[in-house]
Structure 1
Amino acid sequence: MTDFHLIRPWWLLALALLPALYLASKRYRNHGLNWQQLVPEHLQAAMLMRHQDQHPSRRSQWPWWLAALCMLALSGPSWTRLEVPVFQLNQGRVIVMDMSYSMYATDLTPNRLTQSRFKAIDLIRSFDEGETGLIAYAGDAFTLAPMTDDKQTLLNLIPTLSPEIMPVPGSDLPSALELASTLLKDAGYHKGEIILFIDGINDEHASRALELAQSQPWNLKVYVLGTDAGAPMRRSDGKLVKNRAGEVIVAQANTALLNKLADAGNGRLIPFRAGDQDIATLAAPLHRQDQSKHTQQQQRSTDQWQDMGIYLLPLLLLPAAWFARRYLPLLMLSLLVLPPAPADAAWWQSSQSQANELMRQGQHQQAADLLPDGSQKAEAYYRSNQFEQALTQYQQLPQSARSLYNQGNALARLNQLKPAQHAYEQALALNPKLEAAQANLQLVKQLQEQQQKQQQAGDGDQGQEGQQDQNQQPGDQDGQEQTPPSDNQSQQSQDQSQNSNQSQGQSASDDQSQSAPDSDPQGSPPRPELGDSHDSGTGARQPDGQAPPAPAPLPPSDDAQPSQTREEFEAASEGANDTSSPDQAHPQGRAAADGPSDTEQQEPPASIDARTLERIQDDPSLLLRNKMKLEYERRRRAGQINEERTQW
């Protein structure tokens, strides 16, 4: 026990006060219970318990023992030491990359820009500790990444850098040095490094850059890409950079001026090399003296006493458990009879909130029962394929282009094409720019024309079949009572054509608009697109030979989305021709009929998805381009932009 030590010995003073407090409390207790002076002597034997005064109970003493144990634990007894470091290397650095058009010079293979990306990636991977920031500059400097120890973020940004994404051309090195200094200061660093990937300095910025490098407390490492002889600048499109006179510009690396810049920044100049030696030099500390100092500080450590008082605290639970032993069964019983946590929060929600939640979950029928009369109730009815109730609700709303459009949708779903056409025409009379109503009106007209043609074709087939029946042999009487096979085939052909038209009408209109009710309160759920009525099985039954469209209700805004093109629609509805079983329909047809929703998002058809993906521009630098452009516009409005005379 020679190593026994108290970390906080002043707590023992409180331990010394405990005996005095105990004696004072005992004296007070005895004085308060001195009934001998009040009770007659001949009654004291029967009324007073002398043994309690003479032998105080142990129960009255255990709080004092617990207090003494607490004081001892707070004093921090310890008999072991722990070795802990007293220094942790906290190094900050900022990588500044030149994104002027001179980086397209071809004196390095394939050009300076490509080599600078590779070298920057190798440098970032070589860092073991510390935080790193990233800045790119051309006509102005922009922060791409603040001080961070996440190397992967920096590695993802480096390959997207190019002069084309910079908002303004040029080579404003002083702005980059000032921004790098701001990054280090804002991160709380007093010492740090600025690693500059550069191929030259413009004469107009040379003096200002030298002043900043000399006045700043940071070490400046200058990594030079290019040669003094220089080379033409060939852009990514293959064209050479020329001046206003049409002459090809040769970008030269002014190594002498860059060396002065490194000396002014208390750093060094590292030229480009094909191997890894230049990266090792960039990543290493500037001077051996600094390196040995850092090594000594890393190895420096101290012994610290380990506080063992925390292990005395569990002993406090033993007397408490002994004291509460008779109450433990009662405590366990109370845990059993505690009321369970309420699982239903509907009591605290209004009917509107409950309806909104049901709409989000796709339970439109239950939501319609909770909603009051209005556009949202009509919306819920429409989503649950109760088109008659939806039509009644829409007709009760004030007449507007939106309400008339929604009435037309409900009428079309009810197979009432003529009234639907009239409703669409009224909506267009109020708002001629309503593209959704225009598209649905054209579809309704086309469907009516197709139905008329199919009916005429059916009448012609029946006439021909009647002529064939009259020409049959008189002895063949049983065949007249049966349906000829040709009639079945004709009817099947009509049904397939009608089902295809029905899928076309319904799919092209469902994509017209996103759902949002008129005058919806805040927090109302987004409206999912409604599927085809023959898929859901709950819509109104439609007679053969007619195929109404299946549009969705129009959102509050008068601006509706353009309808689906006829070619895309026909390609998406090929699988709807087979009506033998709705569940076995072609996935393309179902995807076209069933619109996306929040709770169940349908995948687009494979053919449409491939065409859509081909149109998407795969440009990972777009985010950086937009970010720097917005920052440049903000600076320009604030008058913080310097005009660049040299554009490379």
Structure 2
Amino acid sequence: MLDKLKHINWEKFHFLRTDYLWLGIGAILILCLGFLFYKESYAWKKQIAKHLRPYVIQKGNSWKIIIIRFSVILMFAIGLIAFLGPTWSQFKSPAKKVKSQFAIALDLSQSMLTTDVSPNRLERAKFKIHDLLEANPRAATNLVLFSGSTHVAIPFTTDYKIIEDQLDGLKPRMMPQSGTEFSLLFKKLDTLFTDNKAEGKILIITDDLDNLPIETVSSFLQQNNVKLYLYPFATQSGGTIPSHKEKSALNITKLNSLAEIDKVEVLEITLDNSDVKDLAKAISAHIVFEDKSDQQDENWKDQGYWLLFPLAFIFVLSFRKGWALNLIIIMLCFSSCSDEDKQNKKDFKFKDLWYTKQYQAQQEYDAENYTKAAMEFKDPMHKGVAYYKAGDYLSAETAFKQDTTVSGLYNLGLTYAKLGRLDKSATIFEKVIQKDPSNKNAHSNLAHVKKAITAMEALKPEDVDLKDKPSAKNKQNNSPEDLSGGGQKATKKDMQKKRLEETAETGKRKSKELDELPDNFKSGQGELPKNILMRKVDDDPALFLSKKFRYQIKKGLVETKKTNNSW
């Protein structure tokens, strides 16, 4: 310790928090003025008989009062200097690791239904997104849909299954505003990548390059730390837009101009998934970056803690009779109510002095802050119910799996039904009935789930949507296809290969009304109710997104613009 103090570099000596200097000096001045104008009152001495005063009152020395006051001022001054952060040496801080984020922007304009790319541009784009996510780019990914307005369909997530479940139902008619407006798209992307320390990645899938201003792209890339992948889904020959007489084709001249911009990479469509595999590999290889901070203050070592030793020494000398007991009381007041908090000092909060973690979790639950409550609860049942109420059914599933009781098994069945895994839900309800044959709710819910499964199995693809032609099932294309103007043509043999069709109907789950978790449920009081389930699971996710987008526009949360074209 003394060796370090001897080698102080006074040329580099300074304080880290000088902004608080005048506040500290003002407080010391107020303290000095208080001692200066303080006058002791002797009126109480008159209450003691004169002949007893010499025996009751002992005279003190005035120098003791001076020492006490001086020690108080000195301790306050030492504490202030320690708080200001004296420093004279630097240290190398380790570089932080930050991960890149990836945004997929999909054009949902009417022109994406053009069939020059088989089966049409939109369906091929969906297939490519599926292949891209299956290749696992490893980055947190979100899905942005744009036409005459731009909406975030799925926020950043590493659970790609959530994005894949939404793709099948995406159609142009779900967008509130027709057309293709890139200015709103880049305005939304700018909010997603504001002050991102790691280089972000953006994939724009579109067929309309005519309305994409080069100046907008260049300005966006200069203002944001991102790399742009442009994926044009159109051919040079083009095709007629459904329900319109206009023709849509790839603008090669505009494409080449965009490709010349720094940090812009143009992808070419391939018959297999090699194009998106290469993209996923490129994103995965550059997902982690070092955060090199330029703030010099963070590299200076705060040496103020050395002043705690003289401060503690002076404080010990100020002890008088009774102060030891007072110190114990103060220490007890600032100790935690639970042993867990003593082991985890980093998460310590002021309310931990008075409430246990479980009681705090119950308070969050009563305030309908279900996510926070779930993180605080330790019991799997309470944690699962809180996650369920928060709408995080995947986390609820994990929690209920840890509960071996019949109620936990029952709730797991309800969670599977909410997730659309009706087969697993039926299996779980059957296990509940085996353990508790008198459980009427389990019998009722099992009947509803089985009926929903039967209805789904009987549902034909052509019955899903009567307005649009079925797009989930690809028809065989008997003619070669010119892809993205690259001159690559598919052979008839290649085009006869059928793409595997997903039949899970993840977006078309149906179920009748089941028991709902009561609003007055108190997860820390009494026996947990057994009749927990959602009201229904019968909405198409695409329909939900469509309603969400229209609501955002109605409330002014999302901006719209009318474009020159109506597709």
TM-score, normalisation: structure 1: 0.39
* TM-score using structure 2 length: 0.44
Flag the structure with larger Rg.
1
- Which is helix-richer, 1 or 2? 1
Higher relative contact order (CA 8 A, sep 6+): 2
